[in-house]
């Protein structure tokens, strides 16, 4: 139930409530797909609070868990674009641009992944 409450709080724009509710959730017990979706919700909540480092960490986690699902997720791409356009608090050393490119340009990232796989197969041949 708390997982859905986090999603609703984020969707309603209440980042503080979402992050408070998240403290009650043991995400490791969830499937990879649910963990990724939950991580995207937390990335959005942190992004709303301009906590760029935390937002970036959750986006990276989501992409590690389910790369294709995360790259095609509308909210994940929106958070990535937001982090690129508004890089955080003044003086905060956050340069998320390279890490966010696969989310902002998923087709390019998928094509590069495919090119790498083709190259690896050629090397083995």
Alpha helices in the chain (DSSP H): 2-11, 15-22, 32-48, 52-65, 67-71, 74-85, 97-104, 106-124
Give the Cα separation of 77 and 101 in Å (integer): 9
**pLDDT tens readout for residues 80-92:** 888 887 765 554 5
pTM (two decimals): 0.74
Residue span of the structural domain in which 47 resides: 2-124
- For residues 36 and 66, the answer to whether their CB atoms sit within 8 Å is yes
Q: Which residues contact 100 (CB under 8 A, 6 or more apart)?
A: 56, 59, 80, 83, 84
Give the Cα separation of 43 and 71 in Å (integer): 14
Q: In this predicted structure, what is the pLDDT of residue 83?
A: 83
Q: Which residues contact 58 (CB under 8 A, 6 or more apart)?
A: 39, 40, 42, 43, 46
Query: Count of domains in the chain?
Result: 1
**pLDDT tens readout for residues 56-75:** 999 999 999 999 999 889 99
């Amino acid at each position: 139930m708390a997982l859905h409450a986090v999603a609703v709080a984020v969707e309603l724009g209440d980042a503080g409530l979402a992050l408070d509710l998240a403290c009650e959730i043991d995400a490791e017990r969830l499937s990879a797909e649910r963990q990724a979706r939950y991580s995207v919700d937390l990335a959005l909540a942190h992004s709303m609070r301009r906590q760029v480092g935390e937002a970036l960490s959750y986006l990276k986690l989501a992409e590690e868990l389910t790369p294709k699902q995360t790259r095609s997720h509308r909210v994940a791409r929106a958070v990535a674009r937001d982090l690129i356009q508004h890089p955080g608090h003044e003086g905060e050393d956050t340069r998320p641009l390279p890490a966010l490119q696969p989310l902002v340009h998923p087709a390019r990232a998928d094509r590069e992944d495919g090119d790498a796989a083709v190259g690896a197969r050629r090397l083995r041949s």
